[in-house]
Amino acid sequence: MTTPATAPQVDPRTIRLIKWRLLPFLMILYIAAFIDRGNIGFAADHLEADLGITPAVFGLLSGAFFIGYFIFEVPSNMLLRKFGARKWITRIVFSWGILAAATAFVDSAQSLLIVRIVLGIAEAGFFPGIILFLTYWFPEKERARTVALFMVALPVATVIAGPLSGFILDNVHWLGWASWRWMFLLEGLFAVALAPFVLKLLPDNPTKAKWLSDQQKDELKARLDFEHHQKVATHGEKSQWKILINPRILAMALIYFAKSTGIYALVFFTPSIMADLSQSSSATVVGLLTALPYALATVFMIVWARRSDRTGERRKHVAGPYALGALALIALGFYNTNVVVAIALICLITVCMYIPYGPFWSLPSMFLTGAAAASGMAWINALANLGGFFGPTILGTVKENTGSVYPALFVVAALLLISSFTVMRLKVITPIVGDAVKESASSEAPAGHAQRG
């Protein structure tokens, strides 16, 4: 059934202003976060040599970050809602920077394990907190593009992290200290330096933005309130605790778990794969090769999110890339001896893992509001990021026992195929693209199949 409604309009210039004011700095923060959680992948050989860490233990240590991350994700997002994004994100950025820098001082696998777990605790809530924060500023029809622009920071982080970490590992041996220690210290201290700027540059919500006029604030509030009432009318109010067992939320967590397994398997082991493919290359060259797939993903993320916002379709924009990525992973398992083919497949897999980000994170905000949005988004991210523990651990174990990571790619591919099927079963209302609000199970499903709850 189609319900005509007049949606209050927001001047496009207001949206552009907000994007320019918020997104560049948020992207810098996320780049720092992703470098600090993922740079351990570039130090793998050094850690194995200096600390006696085996590939299986390395996989466990890489994924240990997500143990603490999982435990504190939902509480952190609820505290953000209580104290405000400005103060809470400042705390997150400062504490993860300190812990990331502290990795430089580890002297055993045990101490590295502790630091990785505590680093996860420190950073918990950052990503879902930012996604929640963006819902305070942007209407539904802008959501996929906005999230994608923010999340362009992920591939950009790897484009930067590869050459940067490789350069430090090759060239920085100051004071007789191992280069991998300098890598952790310098990259962690960068986040610490960013923390004071969060207090200055991030208003909690539009009403506290001195750079918006009263008219701009009123227009934006009217639009966001309208969309809030539409979601409540269609899906009802959700409890912040009952939402944790909501089938739709658990389905989204499964979908995102598969993505996280694939993403972090790539993040932590692509440097090793690239090093194997290009054997005699320096750490700097390996870093540049590792950056290539993410440079391509940066471009395609924006294009894909624009298409999703323009058409108002979300599910196929998530399911399609995951299915294609699964097929590419299977192909890589068989065709990994040819350098050109293997690198091409890694590029395709990386693009397929990254381009659904914007459309996917537009889905929860289409039926969640208030405290339920805070806890629901954090819960999706918390459960799903256990894939960040599962992916590196299984790849590390398989590599130690077989000498190759490639057999484990079939497990990741199977998860992605399951998630592709699952996302096509999700039922949400379509975004408000113009003035009309459409209530349907999906863009293709018969009218009247929209579900509550």
Q: What is the pLDDT of residues 225-255, one digit of tens each?
A: 888 787 777 655 666 667 788 888 888 888 8
Q: How many angstroms separate the CA atoms of 116 and 69, rounded?
A: 10
Q: How many angstroms separate the CA atoms of 393 and 60, rounded?
A: 5
Q: What are the DSSP calls for 253-272, one per residue? A: HHHHHHHHHHHHHHHHHHHH
Q: Give yes or no for a contact between 391 and 265, defined as CB atoms under 8 angstroms apart.
A: yes
Contacts of 86 (CB under 8 A, 6+ apart): 198, 199, 202, 203, 204
Angle at 111 between CA 108 and CA 115, to 5 degrees: 135
Q: Name the burial class of residue 58, with classes exposed (0-12), middle (13-18) and buried (19+) by CB atoms within 10 angstroms of its CB.
A: buried
All domains of the chain in start order, with CATH: 10-204+223-438 (1.20.1250.20)
**The predicted structure's pLDDT at residue 282:** 66
**The predicted structure's pLDDT at residue 239:** 60
CA dihedral 180, 186, 188, 191 (to 10 degrees): -160
Helix (H, G, I), strand (E, B) or coil at 9: coil
Weakly modelled stretches of the chain, pLDDT under 70: 1-5, 234-241, 264-287, 369-370, 427-453
Question: Which structure tokens are listed for 308?
Answer: 């999703």
Q: Which alpha helices (DSSP H) does 140-237 contain, by range?
A: 143-151, 153-171, 179-201, 214-235
